[in-house]
Amino acid sequence: MENLEATLRTMQDYAAQRRGSMSKKFIEIEIDRLEGRVRIDPADLRTASYAVVLEVLQHHQALYLQWAERPHGYDPLLLDAFTASALKTVHDAIQDPANVAKFERMIAASRVQFGKIVDFCWTCVK
């Protein structure tokens, strides 16, 4: 239990340094993941798309993403509001319509492509 409490404090310290706060739901989900429990509410499960990124920002603090081509053994991916905000910031900054379409296609394409887009966004937003 001490490890989990230390992890929680570390996550809260990281959020404070980033001048934001992690939602209570996100922290609870991470603790469950660390303990080996996965509880996914079917209402929080969405097929990956840019529209879901906007939905996370407007209505929810976190949602799970899944893709049509889901390799065996991969759980749905948790998208929090902090990451969704970074994705939206970069999306809004792209001026070329062809690149906007490519950005949206990569979000919906696969888990790997989504990871590449998120990495790209973090390099741009920092």
pLDDT of 46 = 81
> Which residue shows structure tokens 């969405």?
46
Q: Domain boundaries in the chain?
A: 1-39, 41-126
Instruction: Please write the tens of the pLDDT for every residue from 56-102.
Output: 888 877 888 888 776 555 678 888 888 999 999 999 999 999 999 99
14: exposed, middle or buried (Cβ count in 10 Å: 0-12, 13-18, 19+) = exposed
Residues whose CB falls within 8 Å of the CB of residue 8, separated by 6 or more in sequence, listed in order: 27, 31
Per DSSP, 78 falls in state E
Phi, psi angle pair for 63, to nearest 5°: -140, 155
